Amino acid sequence: MAEVPGWRHLYSGKVRDLYEPLEGPADRVLVVASDRISAYDYVLATTIPDKGAILTGLSLWWFAELKSLVPGHVLDTAVPEAVAGRAMVCRRLQMYPVECVARGYLTGSGLSEYRDSGTVCGIELPPGLQDGSKLPEPIFTPAAKAEVGEHDENVSFEDVVGLLGPAVAERLRSTTLALYTHAERLVAERGLILADTKFEFGLDVATGELVLGDEVLTPDSSRYWSAADWQPGRAQASFDKQYLRDWLTSPSSGWQRSSPAPPPPLPDDVVARTRQRYVQAYQQITGTPFDR
């Protein structure tokens, strides 16, 4: 966690650190993306160089791309030198306690639930789907936010209605699906599949606006696959930290996921290959080189 002149540390998540101003307007926060990386609900001891800058740059690109659909929380990118390139000054929001997940393809926790029940978050899906199958249409599969070190829990839309009321729940669902649809079409033009993603929204108490917060459509919050290599029924070539996850669960790491011990430090080649996947995602999505 960095010491940031003029700002007081409020909170640290798995990847981001949040600060409030020591003086001046209280309706803003400083959101700093670190180089930390998490896997299997652990924050790993090894960092990925430039990851914070990549996530911030990609989020800023997406906030600008999506602003016609929903306002974003970014106010300014002029930040203290200590966190330059990996921080944003943002609106202070009253965040909704729901991860707003959109899925266009079946994989991950959604696949596990489907194999057990034929549904995902209470939504019945056609029989015969495989790992990586495209869904008939994108679905909203929310999750209850978990504390650091715990796993988000998939919930039904009805659960969100019970928590936030029907009007807010429907607004979150419709906005999530609109954002996913727009982003999925855009990255398809760049040779990528957006399999699923999660958004976080908050309420601007002063204006009553629904606002898009946190990070947006980064490899940490989204599954990007190579369209050219997509083949349902197997694991897909991805542009996220799946390579790192695969190493952790391989014999090479010496770590057992069921063990109470934390994951081991990452070797240099795993760090380099993971970083390259983040860089490639940034460059392929934005169409600009990552220079740092």
Q: Which of 217, 228, 220 has the alpha carbon at shortest distance from 194?
A: 217
Burial class of residue 124 in the structure, from the number of CB atoms within 10 Å of its CB (0-12 exposed, 13-18 middle, 19+ buried): exposed
Q: The domain 7-93+248-286 belongs to what CATH superfamily?
A: Phosphorylase Kinase; domain 1 (3.30.200.20)
Assigned CATH topology for domain 94-226? D-amino Acid Aminotransferase; Chain A, domain 1 (3.30.470)
116: DSSP letter: H
Q: Please state the pTM of the whole predicted model.
A: 0.93
In the numeric block, the tokens 């969100």 are attached to: 160
pLDDT tens, residue order, the chain (292 aa): 778 999 999 999 889 999 999 998 889 999 999 999 999 889 999 999 999 999 999 999 999 999 999 999 999 999 999 999 999 999 999 999 999 999 999 998 899 999 999 999 999 999 999 999 999 999 999 998 765 445 578 899 999 999 999 999 999 999 999 999 999 999 999 999 999 999 999 999 999 999 999 999 999 999 999 999 999 999 898 888 888 999 999 999 999 999 899 999 999 999 999 999 999 999 999 999 997 6
* Measured CA angle at 180 (ends 194, 57), to 5 deg: 70
What's the gap between Cα 63 and its chain centre? Answer: 13
| Helix-helix angle 166-188:157-164, to 10 degrees | 130
Q: Where are the domains of the chain?
A: 7-93+248-286, 94-226
